């Protein structure tokens, strides 16, 4: 009886204390300000992108990337891959893989998603979202999957942007269980993309 009373008092005390706490302070979701928490990185006098100040320049994420940043302890990554628009279109028209009814950004999305699905075992994928980023046609895709030699699911937020002379793939990723933490940050990175 005394033991049950002690447990009841202890649980009541815990519940009373927890009612006073603001658990929203303990959430891990980043709420960064573009003005205060990002640096604008300019690449090859061609484009700019807002990168969180906690990320550092990397050089081992993707050999084809014109921009690579990461924070390995947070498991937060971003790369940009760019390709000449007309050359890409010409090659895929010859291969009969270009859909003239779609935007260049949508075609580029389809092409890159085909390549990515060869290296990523995709477990879930949201429908593509069409939008305009600083006056440019773009498509965003959220997906999760596994890559070889990594025992964790990875969450990706990808953007495909049509520039004047090039197309750009902005690729952000983290561990799937941290997806919600970085979703807003990755959206801010992607929508900051601009040509110089």
pLDDT digits (tens, 9 = 90+) for 68-118: 999 999 999 999 999 999 988 888 888 888 888 888 888 889 888 988 888
Q: What pLDDT is recorded for position 138?
A: 95
C-alpha 97/C-alpha 159 separation (Å) is 20
**Backbone angle region of 135, left / alpha / beta, with phi > 0 → left and psi within -120 to 50 → alpha:** left
Q: What pLDDT is recorded for position 150?
A: 84
- 3-state secondary structure at position 73: coil
Task: State the sign of the Cα–Cα–Cα–Cα dihedral 131, 135, 137, 141.
Answer: negative
Q: What pLDDT is recorded for position 55?
A: 95
Q: What pLDDT is recorded for position 23?
A: 39
Q: What pLDDT is recorded for position 10?
A: 37
Q: What pLDDT is recorded for position 149?
A: 85
Q: What pLDDT is recorded for position 17?
A: 37
Q: What pLDDT is recorded for position 5?
A: 38
C-alpha 84/C-alpha 161 separation (Å) is 12
- What are the helix (H) ranges across the chain? 2-20, 34-37, 85-94, 104-119, 179-191
> Digits of tens for pLDDT over the chain (196 positions)?
444 434 434 333 333 433 444 433 444 777 887 788 899 999 999 999 999 999 999 999 999 999 999 999 999 999 999 999 998 888 888 888 888 888 888 888 988 898 888 888 899 999 999 999 999 999 999 999 998 888 889 999 999 999 999 999 999 999 999 999 999 999 999 999 999 9
Q: What pLDDT is recorded for position 91?
A: 85
CA geometry: angle 68, 188, 118, nearest 5 deg: 50
Q: What pLDDT is recorded for position 129?
A: 93
């Amino acid at each position: 009886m005394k033991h049950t009373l002690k447990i009841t008092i202890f649980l009541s005390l815990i519940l009373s204390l927890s009612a006073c706490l603001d658990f929203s302070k303990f959430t891990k979701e980043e709420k960064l300000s573009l003005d205060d928490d990002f640096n604008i990185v300019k690449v090859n006098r061609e484009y700019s992108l807002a990168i969180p100040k906690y990320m550092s320049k990397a050089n081992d994420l993707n050999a084809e990337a014109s921009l690579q940043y990461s924070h390995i302890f947070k498991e937060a990554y971003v790369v940009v891959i760019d390709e000449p628009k007309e050359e890409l279109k010409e090659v895929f028209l010859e291969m009969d893989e270009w859909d003239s009814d779609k935007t260049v950004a949508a075609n580029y999305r389809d092409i890159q998603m085909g390549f990515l699905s060869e290296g990523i075992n995709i477990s879930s994928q949201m429908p593509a979202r069409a939008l305009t980023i600083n006056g440019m046609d773009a498509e965003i895709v959220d997906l999760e999957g596994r890559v070889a030699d990594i025992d964790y699911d990875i969450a990706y937020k990808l953007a495909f942007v049509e520039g004047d002379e090039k197309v750009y793939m902005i690729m952000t990723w983290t561990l799937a269980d941290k997806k919600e933490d970085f979703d807003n940050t990755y959206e801010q990175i992607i929508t900051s993309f601009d040509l110089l």
